[in-house]
Amino acid sequence: MNSTLHKFIKWDFPLEKKIFHKELKSFMLILSLMFISMVNAQSVGISTELITPDPSAILELRTSSKGMLIPRMKIVERNAIELPANGLMIYNISDNQFNFYNGNNWVVLASNNSNSAYISVDAVAKISTSSTSDVVISDMSKTAAESGPYLALFNGQVEIPSAVYTTGFSTAAATSDVSSIYNSITGLTVTNTSHPLVFGSGEVLSPGVYNIEGAVSIAGILTLDGGGDPNALFVIRGNAAFNTGAGTTVKLINGASSENVYWIAEAAIGLGASTVIQGTIFSNTAAIAVGATSTITGRLLTNGGAISFGPGTLSLPSKASTIDFKSVKSFIMFTGSGGIANTGSSTFIGDIGTNLGAITGFETATISGTIFQAGSTTVVTPINHIATFSLYKNGVLIPNSSRTRAHLTNPSDISLQGFTSVLQGDVIDVRWKIDAQSSDSSEVSVMNRILTLVKIGN
């Protein structure tokens, strides 16, 4: 030691400085080894003041003003850790939860036991969509931290504003469409030219395009048998008039449907009183007259002639036809040239129009549709949009989790519940859409909302 002190004093000699530095390093090494030995034998304490660490702890941290900060990382960073040790702990900033590795999986430290977990996300800002296909509500998505069965719950406030669809309608353009429709029907390939002029009287008719020379008529009951084909086509056309006797009934069986039935005449059409008939009734050049108390599921169309009806019931088919009805697809009566007259308390479900003539007698009728006088008209149609909310797992719909709301229920709450088995890392989200009805504007909005995942077993 005296020689060391001596060297401390003689700083002016370079050689002695080197010797001193060498011996100082040896001295510090000895002290370090002594400290390591003491640590191995005793507990270590870290504090803002002098403490005696608990002998059962290898390390004790003691303070009343600070905390311990462990590594913070996203799920993707956590999952990139190679060969994590059993018990390794991190703070998951993706889900704001402590995670630890149990030897097989990363699990949530906040769980009370291995059979339960609870994670949630909420938002208050108003957001909107006009998507007609399911898209994720941007802030309503959670990643499962553990594998197992989960209950997914969503609740939010929804707004679906009322909407309208503004369109223009020209009866002149509709007249052109009616002529085009007539040509499409008469252009179909004929399959039968030998049927007698009179149909019915208990007859069962198979699908086909029947072309008849002369005036066609129906008596009694005629049954159209679709043979199990929902698209079965029946076209009965003659090159003269078309008539039905009083009380005539046309029945549909085995897939036959009114939207694919056509009665075509070159000349005038007359339906007897109390006729019940299915399909589109079409005169190329002349008038159509329907007797009292008749019921028609179809259309009355003529390129040139008046239409008279009633009292009775006339309604559109429930499905679209295989023939494109273009601008008159919503019409139950239209004439390219002639008036339209109703008698009595008739019921009409569909639009009514003429390109030349007066429309009269509808004051006593019940109409679900629009009456178009000759000329051009701007039509403003109210639209009742419907929004759908659903729960998804990894982009796949959770069964039976979808719910809908219409604008008539505004303001409205929406609640979803779904049960599904998930693996660690699976994503549960809430998706929404609005229906595809044409309108000037279509939008659904959501405000206060919350998505919660509850693990309910192993």
Look at 47-51, 376-380, 396-400 and tell me which has the smallest mean pLDDT: 47-51
- Residue with the larger pLDDT of the pair 147 and 137: 137
Task: Pull the structure tokens for residue 328.
Answer: 């008159």
Amino acid in position 28: M
User: Does residue 386 surpass a pLDDT of 90?
Assistant: yes
Residue 175 host element (H or E)? helix 171-186
pLDDT computed for residue 228 by the predictor: 97
Q: To the nearest whole percent, how much of the chain has pLDDT over 70?
A: 88
Question: Is 268 within 8 Å of 287 (Cβ atoms)?
Answer: yes
Task: Pull the structure tokens for residue 218.
Answer: 């129906």
d(CA 432, CA 444): 9
pLDDT computed for residue 23 by the predictor: 55
User: Residue 160 in 3-state DSSP?
Assistant: coil
Question: Is 433 within 8 Å of 131 (Cβ atoms)?
Answer: yes
Residue 29 host element (H or E)? helix 14-41
> Environment class of residue 61 by beta-carbon count within 10 Å: exposed (0-12), middle (13-18) or buried (19+)?
middle
Q: To the nearest whole percent, how much of the chain has pLDDT over 90?
A: 71
User: Residue 201 in 3-state DSSP?
Assistant: coil
User: Residue 176 in 3-state DSSP?
Assistant: helix
Instruction: Tell me the C-alpha to C-alpha distance, in Å, between residue 320 and each of 171, 258, 279, 379.
Output: 21, 10, 12, 22
Q: Does domain 117-162+384-455 have CATH number 2.60.120.40?
A: yes
- Residue with the larger pLDDT of the pair 177 and 32: 177
Measured in degrees and rounded to the nearest 5, phi and psi for residue 80 equal -85, -5
Query: Mean of the per-residue pLDDT values for the chain?
Result: 88
Q: From 287, 311, 290, select the one nearest 301 (Cα to Cα).
A: 287
Q: How many C-beta atoms lie closer than 10 Å to residue 396's C-beta?
A: 8
Task: Pull the structure tokens for residue 53.
Answer: 């660490």
∠310-314-317 over CA atoms, to 5°? Answer: 165
Average pLDDT over residues 94-108: 82
Q: From 106, 110, 94, select the one nearest 142 (Cα to Cα).
A: 94
The tens digit of pLDDT for each residue in 276-306 reads 999 999 999 999 999 999 999 999 999 999 9
Average pLDDT over residues 92-113: 76
Q: From 201, 47, 151, 163, select the one nearest 441 (Cα to Cα).
A: 163
User: Does residue 105 surpass a pLDDT of 90?
Assistant: no
In the chain, where the domains are located: 2-62, 72-108, 117-162+384-455, 168-378
User: Residue 163 in 3-state DSSP?
Assistant: strand
Instruction: Tell me the C-alpha to C-alpha distance, in Å, between residue 319 and each of 28, 64, 298, 313, 316.
Output: 95, 76, 11, 18, 9
User: Does residue 458 surpass a pLDDT of 80?
Assistant: no
Average pLDDT over residues 352-370: 96
Average pLDDT over residues 46-52: 83
d(CA 84, CA 89): 9
List residues bridging with 181 in a β-sheet: none
- Residue with the larger pLDDT of the pair 325 and 32: 325
The tens digit of pLDDT for each residue in 303-331 reads 999 999 999 999 999 999 999 999 999 99
- Backbone φ/ψ region at 28: left (φ over 0), alpha (ψ -120 to 50), beta: alpha
Work out the pLDDT band at 251, boundaries 50, 70, 90: very high
d(CA 249, CA 199): 11
Helices 2-9, 14-41: inter-axial angle, 10-degree rounding: 130
Average pLDDT over residues 336-347: 97
Q: How many C-beta atoms lie closer than 10 Å to residue 345's C-beta?
A: 11
- Residue with the larger pLDDT of the pair 21 and 13: 21
Q: How many C-beta atoms lie closer than 10 Å to residue 127's C-beta?
A: 15
Work out the pLDDT band at 345, boundaries 50, 70, 90: very high
DSSP annotation string for 101-127: E-SSSEEETT-SSTT-EEEEEEE-S-E
The tens digit of pLDDT for each residue in 156-193 reads 999 999 899 998 999 999 999 999 999 999 999 999 99
Question: Is 272 within 8 Å of 293 (Cβ atoms)?
Answer: no
Question: Is 321 within 8 Å of 354 (Cβ atoms)?
Answer: no
User: Residue 268 in 3-state DSSP?
Assistant: coil
Work out the pLDDT band at 74, boundaries 50, 70, 90: very high
d(CA 5, CA 25): 15
Helix, strand counts (H, E) of the chain? 4, 40
